[in-house]
Amino acid sequence: MQSGTTRYEKRRPNPSALIPKWNYTACTQCNQCVAVCPHAVIRPFIVTRDEADNAPSPSTFVTVKAQGAELAGKRYTLQISPLDCTGCTACVEACPEAPKALEMQDVENVLSTGGEDNWTYAMSLPERGTLIDKYTLKGGSMNIK
């Protein structure tokens, strides 16, 4: 039996009218939101500058300088799969920042600005788990597919 087939089961119309939006200016890249998501919908990715520039929707594929000595010269992005999110808000609740680095927004806005293409593109990037200790909360979820 092939495993992991739920990745092909996209939901449209989306089960929730609202999904998280990443406020990158408030984010500390702790990845706690990633750990609590029950559907692995929100994930962090380490990308190069070239990869960021080559995203299908570069204006909405936001990246910031990756924090941590192991990730020097790399970029960090938090991506959300618009067609898989149930809108449960667990990730928003888990974000320890004040103000929160996640807030709920209209899923149609995300889809009309390249959100689904950005997710697909991020999932196509190489795994970079060897750059950071995978037995940490932060490292265990980097570029995992």
Of 86 and 105, the one with the shorter C-beta distance to ligand SF4 is: 86
If binding is defined by CB under 6 A, does position 46 make contact with ligand SF4?
no
If binding is defined by CB under 6 A, does position 106 make contact with ligand SF4?
no
If binding is defined by CB under 6 A, does position 132 make contact with ligand SF4?
no
The continuous run of DSSP H or E covering 120 comes out as: helix 115-124
Q: Which of 5, 16, 8 is nearest to 110 (CA)?
A: 16
The continuous run of DSSP H or E covering 94 comes out as: helix 90-94
Preceding peptide of 126 cis, ω within 30°: no
What are 64's two structure tokens?
Answer: 């910031």
If binding is defined by CB under 6 A, does position 6 make contact with ligand SF4?
no
**Residue 22, beta-bridge partner list:** 102
Interface residue with ligand SF4 among 15, 68, 87, 114 (CB under 6 A) is 87
Name the residues that contact ligand SF4, by CB under 6 A: 19-20, 27-33, 37, 39, 41-42, 80, 85-91, 94-95, 97, 101-102
